[in-house]
Amino acid sequence: MSSAKLYTFGLSHQNIWANKILITASITNTKVKIMGKEDGFEYGVSNKTTDFKKKFPIEKCFAFEHDDVKLIECDAVLYHLCKDTKYDFTEKTFELLTLASRDLHMVMSTLCYPALGLIRPDKIENAAALSLMRELFLHLTDLLSEHDYLCGATLTVCDVAVFCEIIPFYELYMDEPCRCLYPAIVTWIQRCASLEVFKHRFGTIKPCELISSFNHSLYAKYHESERKGVKEPAKKGEKTVEKKVTKKVEVVPVAPKASPTAVFTSLPPTTFELEEWKRKYINSASYSDTMTWLWDNFDQEGFSFWYGVYKYSN
């Protein structure tokens, strides 16, 4: 049997799907080659070609190929790797894999992606994610109260899947007060992290010291092209309207002026989050830390400072 091929977008602690596959391949003694530029594969380019679409009709990446087996869903790949081995799936395996890929992933992405600059934080979604997290962690605690691992005394693919989903949360959001609430889960994470198969993939895993906040600079970087794409049509639209109005002025009375608020519609979106600034200002115990955060995140082109005096000082 030949080596399997994995097409993906780079490796990091946050590439959860690739980590699940590579660790599972390691414990099942399956060779997996990560395809890169030296193999003629470039993410975002090669996966849009006709040849790639013949193998994987959906342009989704990651993608997995092993002899005649071609898959694009992580849990299906894990099943393929574990089939006919001592890690073969049971009903409990399917249940925990679904819990990891659906519910745990939703919690992780909602709470951690803002710190990675991928999405903006949302208070309502965060509250729902924290509520779901508590339910999931209590369920995992019950499983770990009887065994060292989720499905018994030895490591299974369930541990691999859940571990890979939890690690970004453990590093970016699960600070000491949170860890104190779930000692069984923390012990399990440390137990898994000490195994060579996880060390090889993750290296040293450091617990969160301070909950990571929204990364404005990364978000601006990732979404810069989107902002440019929005600005250009707006300018063209404005010019077109001006030309039409100019032509009509000769035969028709001048149209009424636009409302004052229309002036701001053409301004580019700002990366400065007022709600985040309020939260930082109210909750920070250190004035210097607060002002440092302000100067690091202040949008000098979109905002300005004004000095005001109360009219009714009493």
pLDDT at 41 over 90: no
What average pLDDT does the segment 182-190 reach? 95
Alpha helices in 29-156 (DSSP H): 50-55, 74-82, 91-98, 105-112, 123-144
pLDDT at 190 over 90: yes
Q: How confident is the model at residue 280 (pLDDT cuts 50, 70, 90)?
A: confident
pLDDT at 244 over 70: no
What average pLDDT does the segment 138-143 reach? 94
The amino acid sitting at 225 is: S
Angle at 56 between CA 55 and CA 62, to 5 degrees: 120
Q: What is the pLDDT of residue 88?
A: 87
pLDDT at 249 over 50: no
Q: What is the pLDDT of residue 227?
A: 58
Q: Which domains does the chain have, with CATH numbers?
A: 4-82 (3.40.30.10), 87-202 (1.20.1050.10)
What average pLDDT does the segment 241-251 reach? 46
For the chain, the average pLDDT equals 82
Please give the Cα distance from 41 to 223 (Å, whole number): 25
Residue 4: helix, strand or coil by DSSP?
Answer: strand
Q: How confident is the model at residue 228 (pLDDT cuts 50, 70, 90)?
A: low
Residue 34: helix, strand or coil by DSSP?
Answer: strand
Query: How far does CA 7 lie from the centroid of its chain?
Result: 19
Q: What is the pLDDT of residue 314?
A: 54
Please give the Cα distance from 219 to 114 (Å, whole number): 8
Q: What percent of the chain has pLDDT over 70?
A: 82
pLDDT at 26 over 60: yes
Q: How confident is the model at residue 286 (pLDDT cuts 50, 70, 90)?
A: confident
Q: What is the pLDDT of residue 229?
A: 52
pLDDT at 139 over 90: yes
> Do 96 and 158 meet the contact criterion of CB atoms below 8 Å apart?
yes
Q: How confident is the model at residue 232 (pLDDT cuts 50, 70, 90)?
A: very low
What average pLDDT does the segment 48-75 reach? 86
Please give the Cα distance from 172 to 191 (Å, whole number): 19
Of the listed ranges 116-130, 137-151, 265-279, the least confidently predicted one is 265-279
Q: What is the pLDDT of residue 247?
A: 45
Q: What is the pLDDT of residue 197?
A: 93
Please give the Cα distance from 215 to 204 (Å, whole number): 23
The amino acid sitting at 188 is: W
Please give the Cα distance from 115 to 270 (Å, whole number): 17
Please give the Cα distance from 314 to 308 (Å, whole number): 15
